[in-house]
Amino acid sequence: MTSGSRTEKQVLEELSKEERDLITRVLQIERAKIHVSAYDATEDLLAAVKEIIP
C-alpha cells in the first residue's frame, strides 16, 4: 500500500488534476460533517464527482 518513505505530498503529486480536485472536495465534505454520525455522504460526494467530470 505504501512504503515507509513516501509522503502525503508525493501521493498528491502523483495524482491527476481531477483526482486532486476530487480528493480535496471529498475531504472537505467529510470534514464538514465529521460530527454528524448519521450523515450519508453519498449524494454530496456524487455531486462532487459530477462537478469534476460534468
Partner 1 sequence: MRLQSITLTNFRQFRGVQTFDFSSDSSKPVSLLFGANGAGKTTFLNAFTWVLYGTMSEDVEEQDRMVTDSVWRALPIGSSTEVAIELRLDHEGQNYRVLRSASLRKQSDLQPKSSPEVQLWATKSDGSSEIVKAPQEAIHKILPEGLSRFLFFNGERIEKLVKKGAYAEVKQDIKVLLEMEHVERAIAHLPKVDRRLTQELKKYGGDKASEIQTEIDDLRERETNAHSELDGLEADLATLTEERERVTDLLRQHAVAAPIQAQRDAVTNELKDARNARAAAVAERANLIATRGFLAFTETLADKTLETANSLYQKGALPAPLKREFVDQLLEQGACICGTPLIEHTGAWEHVKEWRQRAGLQAVETVWQQLSGQIAPLSSKRAELREDFEQITKRISDARDRVDTLEASKSELDGKLLDDRLEDAPELETRRMDLESRIGVKQQRIGSITSELERIKNDIDKKTRERSRAEVTDELASKARTRSDLVQSVRRALIEILAIRENNMRVRLDAELKKVFRSITHQNHIPTLNEGFELTLHKDVDGVQLPVPKSTGENQILSLSFVSAVSKIARENRKERRAEGQPPKDAGVYPIVMDAAFGSLDEDYQQAVSRALAEMAPQLVVLVSKSQGLGKVVTELMPHVSHLGVIQTHTTAPENGTDHIELEGVSHPYIVAAETDHSELKVIK
Phi, psi of 45 (to 5 degrees): -70, -40
Cα angle: 27, vertex 12, 17; to 5 degrees: 85
Closest contact distance (angstroms) between CB of 10 and partner 1 is 9
- Residue closest to 26 by CA, chosen among 54, 1, 49: 49
Closest contact distance (angstroms) between CB of 7 and partner 1 is 7
Closest contact distance (angstroms) between CB of 3 and partner 1 is 10
Site for partner 1, rule CB under 8 A:
1-2, 4, 6-9, 11-12, 15, 18-19, 22-24, 26-32, 34-36, 40-42, 45-46, 49-50, 52-53
